[in-house]
């Protein structure tokens, strides 16, 4: 089953999460980009899993509209990811390799997508994900170090990432990333949509790194009677 590039981007936007690279319990007065990338590499080596509360806010500038949803995210180093959105509309988004599932409990329906033909596109977005090497990050993005900033009483390093792929650039003009300098875990990311002033912000709280996660979290098991849909187009 294949589907269009725009739909792929829309689905990926449901599961976009920022680089979570481990725990370095040290701070410095100043960093340069090479040092930051080296530290991300160092932290990535021991990353296995992550859980966090997540809040995603979409801002449509022209009509001054803000919509926010909250939930929980579970991630494994092998790329498997589960997002349980809780409010305002419950749903589950599950990625297992090349398969993506969007489950809506209110209508007892799960949509199933195969991402195989779009794997490179998906992985380039999810390189902002977890345990990614600086080499792979640099391959997909032009990276600049904006500086440091205090965010919710935490000292963070701010990075700007510009996609190198024109396909990506047609959708997302730039990504701004805030990394907690004391823990080297994500606290916020901001995606600037191409061709508009619109953006969305994802914030992470109560992050737990390398917790033991039940493997059943990453299996597409849905309640009995759930209707399965494979959208076309």
Query: Cα-atom radius of gyration of the chain, to the nearest Å?
Result: 17
pLDDT digits (tens, 9 = 90+) for 5-24: 556 555 655 555 333 333 33
- Within a 10 A sphere around the Cβ of 166, how many other Cβ atoms? 7
Contact at 8 Å (CB) between 52 and 24? Answer: no
The tens digit of pLDDT for each residue in 181-228 reads 877 777 898 999 999 999 999 999 998 989 999 999 999 999 999 999
Residues of the chain scoring pLDDT < 70: 1-29, 120-121, 123-130, 233
Q: Are 101 and 94 in contact (CB under 8 A)?
A: yes
Domain ranges across the chain = 5-206
Contacts of 218 (CB under 8 A, 6+ apart): 74, 76, 80, 81, 82, 94, 96
SS3 content of the chain, % helix, strand, coil (to 5): 20, 45, 35
Q: What is the pLDDT of residue 22?
A: 33
Q: Both tokens of residue 178? A: 């805030």
The class that CATH gives domain 5-206 is mainly beta
Angstrom distances, CA of residue 93 to CA of 10, 102, 148, 200: 13, 5, 33, 18
Greatest extent of the chain over all pairs of C-alpha atoms, in Å: 57
Nearest Cα to Cα of residue 31 among 117, 159, 128, 127: 159
Name residues whose C-beta falls within 8 Å of residue 38's C-beta, 6 or more positions apart in sequence.
134
Per the omega criterion (within 30 degrees of 0), is the bond before 88 cis? yes
Of 67, 180, 69, 81, the C-alpha closest to 125 is: 81
pLDDT score recorded for residue 23? 36
Q: What is the pLDDT of residue 133?
A: 78
Q: CB-based burial of residue 145 (10 Å sphere; 0-12 exposed, 13-18 middle, 19+ buried)?
A: middle
73 within 8 A of 64, measured Cβ to Cβ: no
């Amino acid at each position: 089953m294949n589907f269009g590039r725009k739909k792929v981007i829309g689905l990926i936007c449901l599961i976009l999460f920022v680089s979570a690279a481990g725990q370095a319990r040290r701070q410095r007065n100043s960093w340069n980009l090479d040092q930051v990338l080296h530290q991300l590499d160092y932290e990535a080596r021991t990353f296995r899993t992550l859980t966090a509360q997540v809040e995603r806010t979409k801002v449509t500038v022209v009509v001054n509209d803000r919509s926010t949803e909250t939930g929980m995210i579970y991630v494994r180093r092998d790329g498997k990811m589960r997002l349980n959105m809780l409010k305002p509309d419950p749903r589950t988004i599950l990625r297992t390799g090349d398969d993506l599932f969007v489950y809506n409990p209110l209508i007892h329906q799960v949509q199933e997508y195969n991402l195989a033909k779009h794997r490179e596109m998906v992985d380039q977005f999810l390189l902002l994900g977890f345990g990614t090497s600086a080499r792979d990050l640099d391959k997909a993005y032009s990276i600049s170090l904006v500086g440091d900033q205090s965010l919710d009483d935490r000292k963070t390093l701010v990075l700007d990432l510009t996609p190198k792929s024109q396909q990506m650039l047609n959708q997302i003009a730039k990504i701004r990333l805030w990394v907690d300098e004391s823990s080297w875990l994500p606290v916020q990311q901001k995606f600037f949509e191409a061709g508009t002033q619109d953006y969305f912000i994802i914030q992470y709280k109560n992050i737990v790194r390398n917790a033991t996660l039940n493997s059943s979290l990453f299996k597409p098991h849905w309640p009995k009677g759930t209707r399965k849909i494979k959208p076309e187009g």
